[in-house]
Amino acid sequence: MKGLLRKDVYVLFQASRAQLLIVLLFLVISMTMNNTLIAYMLALYAAMMPITVISLDERSRFDRFALALPWSRAQIVLSKYALSLAAACLAALSYLAGVLTLGSAVNGGISLQDALTTFCAMLTIGTLLPALMLPFVFRFGVDKGRMWIMLITIAFGVGAGLLSMDEGSAVSQLANRLTALPLWLLPLAGLTAFALSAFVSVQIYRRREL
């Protein structure tokens, strides 16, 4: 599986050099200006990295060629999850280290509590989003998988909007309870969903005809 990971990283760097430079710029901005919105955008970009690699594999038909190599379908799937987890951890750790060092030197930085809150949120986004997307991608392919994710996201957003029209709604109460939970519970929930998603994706990809 190390060979697959090396291939994925190489393909990602070759195909997305300009985007990676922009990500690096955004990372510096988020650290020096304490901009959590940009930090969350970095987490979203990290979550999309395995989708980008799978898309490039499908265009070049490497997904079919890989089946002729000494890799199992489970290894192919798990390599994408490993890439996703590594990207999420790298983005979150880079932000945390940078905001506590470079950010402190430039503008006094932010409190450790706020930095850890953003760090945990980035980890949650970086694990939960791929956990939701990748099973659909491995089942339907990148194009159809994105369409399903978009439909589910729209349905979820509309449903949440309808339920939260008043302050005493169930969604509002749930949001208040989530903010009161310990910080480490959200990344733990994301990692649990991530592991379950990996298991489901392996089972799906084993049955998929390419």
Q: Which of 125, 117, 116 is nearest to 84 (CA)?
A: 125
What residues contact residue 30 under an 8 Å CB cut-off, 6+ apart?
36, 38, 39, 42, 95, 98, 99
Dihedral sign computed on CA atoms, order 202, 41, 6, 195:
negative
pLDDT tens readout for residues 46-84 = 888 888 888 888 888 887 887 788 888 899 999 999 999
- Rounded distance between C-alpha atoms, residue 97 and residue 112, angstroms: 11
- Residues 142-177: b if buried by 16+ CB within 10 A, e if exposed: beebbeebeeeeeeeeeeeeeebeeeeeeeeeeeee
| Predicted TM-score (pTM) of this structure | 0.81
- If you average pLDDT over residues 74-98, what whole number do you get? 90
